[in-house]
Amino acid sequence: MAAKRKSDVSVPAEESDQLLIRPLGAGQEVGRSCIILEFKGRKIMLDCGIHPGLEGMDALPYIDLIDPAEIDLLLISHFHLDHCGALPWFLQKTSFKGRTFMTHATKAIYRWLLSDYVKVSNISADDMLYTETDLEEGNTRKRGFVLGLPRGPCWGAMFMIEIAGVKLLYTGDFSRQEDRHLMAAEIPSVKPDILITESTYGTHIHEKREEREARFCNTELLLILDEYWQNHPELHDIPIYYASSLARKCMAVYQTYINAMNDKIRKAINVNNPFVFKHISNLKSMDHFDDIGPSVVMASPGMMQSGLSRELFESWCTDKRNGVIIAGYCVEGTLAKHIMTEPDEIATMSGQKLPLKMSVDYISFSAHTDYQQTSEFIRALKPPHVILVHGEQNEMARLKAALIREYEDNDEVDIEVHNPRNTEAVTLNFRGEKLAKVMGSLTDRKCVQGQRVSGILVKRNFNYHIVTPSDLSSQLHIDLCPPPPPLLSQLRSLAGDVEQVEGTEKITIRIFKSITLVHEAGMVLLEWIANPLNDMYADAVTTVVLEVQSNPSAQKFPEAKRETFDMDVFVERLALMLHDMFGDDCVNFKGGEDLSVTVDGVTATINPETRLPYGVAGTAAREKGERNCCVSTVLYSKIERARAKSQADERKMRRMSNGGKS
C-alpha cells in the first residue's frame, strides 16, 4: 500500500489544530520547572525555575531551544526556586518582551527568596546567574497579578488557560491536604481538556498529618510547634530557634494575607496573632548562637547545599547525640538526598571528610501531592489528557502505569497519560465545534430553524461573530471605510461645495477643486498634485475621513440641509476680519473686485467666489516661496472661520425670527 503523501500546503500557526506541550525542565526530573505551551499561534511559558542540585548555567531550563522573544506570556505558579529561580535571568538576560503573571502573595515572598538565594550561593561571581542589581531591575518590569485557583499548602496558584475553547489546567506543586495555616487545593468547577500535574511522589502515599506529628512527638522533636511547647512546661528550658532572616520576612507577608489562610488561622487572628511565637526565637547568624546544651534549630535551605543549615550540619554531624530531620522533598545531587542513604562520611564545603554519626530522619511536610490525592484529583476532573511533570523518571513511570491501570477497564472515561522527557514535545489535536454568535441588528429578527442569515462573519481572538456591515464599528469596534453619505456630509461641512464627478465607475468627489477622493470597497483613495497648499488641503480631508471612520455617531448623523450662501455678506465680513487682523494699510478691497492682502512685501489675492488665495506678488514673494505658503495658509484658515461664523449668524437670526424654534 502506498504511503500517504504529505500536504504541500502549510497551515498558519493560528489556524492549526495542533497543541504542543514541551517541558524545558521538570521532564522526568524534579527541578527547573519550565513548560512551553503552543497553540493557535500563541506561546505561553509555565514557570521558570532552577535545578537545586546544579549550579550556574547548568541549573537553567533548556531555554536555548526556544526564542524568548516569541513567548507571549509567562505564568509563575509559586515562589519555590525550582519554579521561579530562573525568572530574573530570563527577564534580564534574554530577548523576552512579554508579560509575567503571578499572585500578589507569590511576588511578596519571591523577591526575598531570590535575594537570599543570591547571598547564600556558594559559587563564584562569574558563575552567578544574576545579581541583586538584576533583581531590582527585573522587579521594575511590567508584571501582572492574577487570582488563580488555590493550590494548597504553599502560596501560589493553579492556572486554568483557555485558548480557542481548549482548556488546560497547570497545577504547579499542589496538595489536597490542608495544613496548619493554608487551605487545601481547590478542585476547579470547569473540566479541563488537558491537565499538567506534578508527579513528585509517584505512587507513594503520605502519612496522615496526625501520624506525622506523632512521629515528631515520639522522637521529642515536635519542638518546632509552638502550641506543643506551650502545653509542656518541662521543655521550656530548651530553646527553639528559626535560623532564617527569610522566614522572619515571610511571616510578615503571611500576616498581610490572612484571608488566604485556612479557617483555623482566620479565627485565631481575632484572638491573638498565631505568627507571634512565645517559645521560638530568631537566630540571625552563627555568631549569635551559643552552642551550649540541647536546642532545636529550624534552618534553611532544606536541601543543605549551602547556608546556615549546611554550617550547622557540619558542626553537629560527628556527635551521635545530635539528629537531623529532613522535612521536605530532596533532589538528587544534594546533601540532604545523600545523607538519607546513610553514608559513613560526608564531604564538607571545604572538601574535608567528616564521619556521619548523627541520626537522620525523613518526615515529609512537603507541599506536594501523593498518589491518593493525585488520583482523586484526576478522578474528579476526568481530563482526556494528563501530562506528568516534576517527578523522577522511575516515580513518574510508576504513577503513569498506576493511572493507566485504573482507567483501562473504564469504558466511560478515556484518559491518555503522557510523561515527556525534557525537550520532548507532546502533540495533541483539537478540532472543536466552531460557533458563531449573531450580534447587532440581526438579533432584532426572530430566528427560525433553517432560516438563512446574511451578514459578515468576523473572527477575533478565536471567537466568531455574524454582524451586518453597518454594525461592524458599533458592535465589534472594527473601523472600516466610512460610507459615502455621511462622509459627503462631513466634507461639505469642511469645504463648502464639493463636486461629485459623473461618469465614473467608482464614487469620485472633488474637494477644494484640487483634491480627488475615490471611494472604493473598503478603501478611500486621495489624489492631488503636490504643493504646499494642496498638501494642507489633503491633510484636512484625511482628518475628516479618519474622524468619520472611527466615530460611529458621525456615520449616523443625517446630512444637514444645504443652506443658501449670501456672497455679499460673506465678502463684507471677510474684509472686516482681515482689516482687524492685518490693519487697514495691508488690505485692499473695492466692491466687485478681488480682495488682496500685503504683508512684508508679499501680496496674496483672494477670489471671493472660490474663497481661495490664488496669487502672490512682490520681490519678497519670488525670494521666499515658503513665506507665500504661510500667508496663504493663514488666510485660508481665517476665511473658513469667517464663513462658518457667517453661517452661524444666519442660523441664529432665523431661529429668532421663528420664535426660538430651529
Q: Could you tell me where in the chain the CATH 3.60.15.10 domains are found?
A: 18-204+368-429
Euclidean distance between CA atoms 633 and 509, whole angstroms: 23
Helix axes 393-407, 371-381, angle to 10 degrees: 40
Q: Sorting pLDDT into bands at 50, 70 and 90, what band is 238?
A: confident
Contact indicator for 453, 442 with CB cutoff of 8 Å: yes
Q: Please tell me the predicted confidence (pLDDT) of residue 260.
A: 62
Query: What pLDDT is attached to residue 658?
Result: 56
User: Helices (DSSP H) in 45-168: which residue ranges?
Assistant: 81-84, 87-93, 104-120, 132-139
Whether 224 shows a pLDDT value over 70: the answer reads no
**628 or 172, which is more confident?**
172
Is the per-residue pLDDT at 340 higher than 50? yes
What are the residue ranges of CATH 3.30.310 in the chain?
484-556
All CATH 3.40.50.10890 domain ranges in the chain, comma separated: 209-362
The CATH fold assigned to 484-556 is: TATA-Binding Protein (3.30.310)
CATH number of 18-204+368-429: 3.60.15.10
Q: Is the peptide bond before 384 cis (omega within 30 degrees of 0)?
A: no
- Those residues whose C-beta lies under 8 Å from the C-beta of residue 279, and which sit 6 or more positions away, are 226, 229, 230, 236, 240
Catalytically annotated residues: 368
Mean pLDDT of 640-653: 59
Q: Which of 135-139, 220-224, 463-467 has the highest mean pLDDT?
A: 463-467
**CA-closest candidate to residue 373, choices 175, 212, 601:** 175
Higher pLDDT, 104 or 336: 336
- Over the stretch 14-29, which tens digit does the pLDDT of each residue have? 567 899 999 999 999 9
With left for phi above 0 and alpha for psi between -120 and 50, is residue 617 left, alpha or beta? Answer: beta
Q: Any idea which residue has 509563575 for its cell?
A: 76
CATH of domain 209-362: 3.40.50.10890
